[in-house]
Amino acid sequence: MASALDLFGDRWTLLVVRDLFLGRSRFKDFTASPEGIPTNILTDRLERLVSGGVIRKTPLEGGKRFGYELTEKGEALGPVLLAMREWGLRWEEGTRALLEEQAPAITPPGQG
């Protein structure tokens, strides 16, 4: 568990992974998320996720810009995100799932 928390055990990292599951892939997409991640933290978390093999950087628009996508290792976090979402909805008062209609985007590997 400690190794996993070293990679994605802070507030922002799993929100970036969540956004990737929801189809966001560009830096500007992540900064537009309702949680308002600061750009310096976002840069750090994206670099950490790339170096950890959870996401990969992909060229966009003729190679001038980059996007990000989940690797197989990153896609394996789908059940973790769903479990955390369900736990929050059940146990934490005031928790809302604003993107409930998009929850099927987060599926276990090989089932999506």
Residue whose tokens read 């840069």: 43
In 10 A of CB 45, how many CB atoms?
22
16 assigned to some structural domain:
yes
Measured distance between the N- and C-terminal CA atoms of the chain, rounded to whole angstroms = 26
61 assigned to some structural domain:
yes
- CA-wise closest residue to 12 among 42, 48, 39, 47: 42
Instruction: Give the domain range for residue 98.
Output: 2-105
The number of folded domains in the chain is 1
Does 25 or 103 have the greater pLDDT score?
Answer: 25
Residue 43 corresponds to which tokens in the numbers above? 């840069």
112 assigned to some structural domain:
no
Residue pair 14/8 in contact (Cβ under 8 Å)? The answer is yes
110 assigned to some structural domain:
no
CATH classification at residue 13:
1.10.10.10
Give 60-100 pLDDT, tens digit per residue: 988 789 999 999 999 999 999 999 989 999 999 888 775 55
